[in-house]
Chain A
């Protein structure tokens, strides 16, 4: 039976939020099945409301369904209530589009956006009726595939995922479809052979094709088993975003989801060079969409979806060359229609940014969030988030002057070289922001959100020993006691503290994330044990328990501290060294040393190339419409964050190649801030 709906329907009356499982979104497809087509089940291993908005999944859903030789449907992790019912009735995991059993598909393709979803991957493979370990799968089982940012260290899932896609999926899904199509036409005989074929596609990593050898805890070698399998798997990158204007028909969910609005990606990649940021490191170079193309996607998207909010997404949207033009046109076009709110996630911290935000939020004012990330200028130089205090205060003043009354500040704690005065700087910055706000409104308040820092693969901090649970907790407690609200105290400092609301991430969850982020193949068995012990939905505090992870490590004879809190050495073979984001290991090491020396590094989109490796190795270049750094604040000018800043760069004579009319010689070294 290919339609499970009659068996699922009676269960939906018994579960929370049944609309998670019905599909039927505007923009969704009910693809026609044919034996000749390669059937993809695109899976987000978390709840529907977290997974539905994922743009990567939606882009591939459209691209695959446009192909005559492929079809794609979607699945999300059933919440524990439904998972229990499905198991009790022996009903498998299903697609939400046509309620087909997952086992009918040729590929189960997981999106890995975060490491704590790894146990959900095993849960969903198991619910699909497929053996969770690669070695136990037979030719009749689907190929288990995974991609997304967390696939850049695939090793923890190496024994559970048949093949990983490293990098962007737009182009590689075609090549995978062809290999799987040929395998199907050949009668799906030999699983080993099709995996071997997949391993020869650039950007596809098949862990079974690689042999890892250890000497005690250390990795000695990772070697390809066949001559035609690359020793190193390089990421895939789309050169020109304008060739891929997807999603064209963004899905409009029936129930409320996160980011419930039209999302238009204005550029991909970021070269701000924040050293903690894996996304910025692995998605280089910067590739802007043209202003015209963004306008078209916004106008068409709003008309088609009926949304009254659009987010211009990227890793730092105020850096988009066309930001003012696009914002102006949205505000103009939507006059008299009740207004469209524009969300700018990932705002740069400066007054220019607030000016743009004020322009677009004349109609509906939402919250404003800034991410200075660290509490002192010294530490912000270490992490290369070059926000001066003046920038932050200028942004905050400008925000209050434009009518905002509440704002959120994001910080990380547990960063390399962080000492208590850096941590306490977070509280001081927050109080100073409240003080600025009180000049406009006595009840001005600031929410401070503090996350524990997890070092990630392919970043300059990949060698750094993460802070342990106790140390992170101590830092959070330090902040809590410094900001503890007290009634009746009239001291000005106390009054300011009272208007700061502190939120923090659970240090125990941060520890487990660290274990999965930089784990090697041996951590796979730990993940499996946690899953078998019932540890699904580890991103959800009500389901998370660190004890499960510690017990699993103990049972496997692995020391979790060795994986999480240990500083790595330069000569060490890292578990992901055979996976390449294009960044030379020497560049990352040099940048790590610059961090320790408190040296910043400018943004190579507007300054000379320092040869991180990506553009040169992959013959790519930045696609930016403007050769000028945006105005306003040190982050805006980019080149001169502080007078005393010593910029450690290697000049190779290569300058950014703007797509706009300006010649290379005209690239300015400084940009004047307009009055």
Chain B
């Protein structure tokens, strides 16, 4: 959100269940409709085709769930932020819930630039339905973490590129197994200078230890997003919120 908005707001929301099969773009459109259903005082861009000023955080891949998503929206006047989450949740598709809203300070950096770390919880299995052995998989994870660099071929903006994935992995731990032959995994990654998707990390593990077999993600949940600033790890809801005194004055 650039400076100048009368009432910039950051929303925190979750995405669970069937609605996980909608795309990032679908979610954006659902929010824009929810804003209109609730008749929020939206600020619009100038020009022939005015759009509400909404900016979304890191994209969440189609099929992934999340406990921790964000978006910023510019309003032209103050409104009751306590009541906002419930109002918007009612206007959104089932499975998307707004769980927090703060007024942003002036010139808060955009979410896509500000967020530096993401925590994931994954369930993974073999794509041929052979049971995945947790110990073997743990060993493969250790092998991968022991590498300085793991170059994986992936497609970025429609092009095939070779990227180092290891550099983005901060932590990767097997946390359990399930009777259906899947393994649960916690994963923390950096988003800068280059992020790694859960799928890239699995490809890196399989590349280092091919014997582990073809691995696929079954269930992916984004647990948290962090803004790291001056050595502190902040929630995106707290990092750039306008101090409460100012908020009281605005409302």
Contact = CB atoms under 8 A, between A and B. Distances in A.
Given A338-B42, A365-B49, A254 B19 contact: yes
Given A26-B93, A306-B35, A338 B22 contact: no
Contacts of B30: 254
Interface residues of B, number: 29
A206 to B, nearest CB: 38
Given A256-B26, A306-B35, A365 B48 contact: yes
A201 interface: no
B62 A307 contact: no
Interface string B79-122: 00000000000010111000000000000000000000000000
A554 interface: no
B33 A338 contact: no
A12 interface: yes
Given A24-B95, A305-B33, A306-B91, A364 B49 contact: yes
Contacts of B49: 364-365
Contact of A18 (B21, B95, B218): B21
Nearest to B50: A338
Contact of B50 (A10, A303, A364): A364
Given A255-B22, A256-B29, A306-B32, A13 B63 contact: yes
Nearest to A303: B37
B23 A255 contact: yes
A362 to B, nearest CB: 10
A283 to B, nearest CB: 32
A18 B62 contact: yes
Interface centre among B33, B36, B49 (most CB of A within 10 A): B36
Contacts of B39: 337
Contact of A254 (B22, B35, B52, B63): B22
Nearest to B37: A306
B63 A18 contact: yes
B33 A19 contact: no
A252 B25 CA distance: 15
Contacts of B206: none
B29 to A, nearest CB: 7
B18 interface: yes
Contacts of A83: none
B36 A19 contact: no
Contact of B23 (A19, A363, A365): A19
Nearest to A364: B49
Interface string B165-178: 00000000000000
Contact of B22 (A9, A19, A308): A19
Contacts of B241: none
B50 A339 contact: yes
A337 B36 contact: yes
A22 interface: yes
Interface residues of A, number: 30
Contacts of A256: 25-26, 29
Nearest to B38: A306
A568 interface: no
Interface string A1-23: 00001000110110000110111
Contacts of A24: 18-19, 93-95
B26 A363 contact: no
Interface in B24-63: 25-26, 29-30, 32-37, 39, 42, 44, 48-50, 52, 62-63
Nearest to B216: A13
B33 A252 contact: yes
A306 B22 contact: no
A19 B26 contact: yes
B50 to A, nearest CB: 6
B13 to A, nearest CB: 15
Interface in A259-318: 302-308
Nearest to A26: B93
A252 B30 CA distance: 9
A74 B95 CA distance: 21
A74 to B, nearest CB: 15
Contacts of A18: 21, 62-63
Contacts of A9: 18
Contacts of B94: 24
A44 B22 CA distance: 21
Contact of A306 (B33, B44, B95): B33
A21 B20 CA distance: 12
B37 A22 contact: no
A308 B48 CA distance: 15
A644 to B, nearest CB: 44
Contacts of B29: 256
Given A256-B26, A363-B50, A22 B19 contact: yes
Nearest to A252: B33
A25 B22 CA distance: 12
A12 B21 contact: yes
Contact of A255 (B26, B48, B50, B95): B26
A314 B62 CA distance: 36
A654 to B, nearest CB: 47
Contacts of B91: 306
A672 to B, nearest CB: 35
A210 B190 CA distance: 71
Nearest to A15: B21
A337 to B, nearest CB: 7
Nearest to A10: B218
Nearest to B127: A14
A12 B63 contact: yes
B50 A254 contact: no
B36 A254 contact: no
B217 to A, nearest CB: 8
A363 to B, nearest CB: 7
A642 to B, nearest CB: 38
A338 B91 CA distance: 19
Given A22-B19, A338-B52, 4 more contacts: A18-B62, A19-B26, A308-B32, A365-B49
20 contacts: A9-B18, A13-B63, A18-B62, A19-B22, A19-B62, A22-B19, A22-B21, A22-B22, A24-B95, A252-B33, A254-B19, A255-B22, A255-B26, A306-B34, A306-B35, A306-B36, A307-B36, A308-B32, A338-B44, A338-B52
Interface of A: 5, 9-10, 12-13, 18-19, 21-26, 252, 254-256, 302-308, 337-339, 363-365
**Top 9 closest pairs, chain A to chain B, by CB:** A306-B33, A18-B21, A306-B37, A306-B36, A22-B18, A19-B22, A254-B22, A338-B44, A19-B21
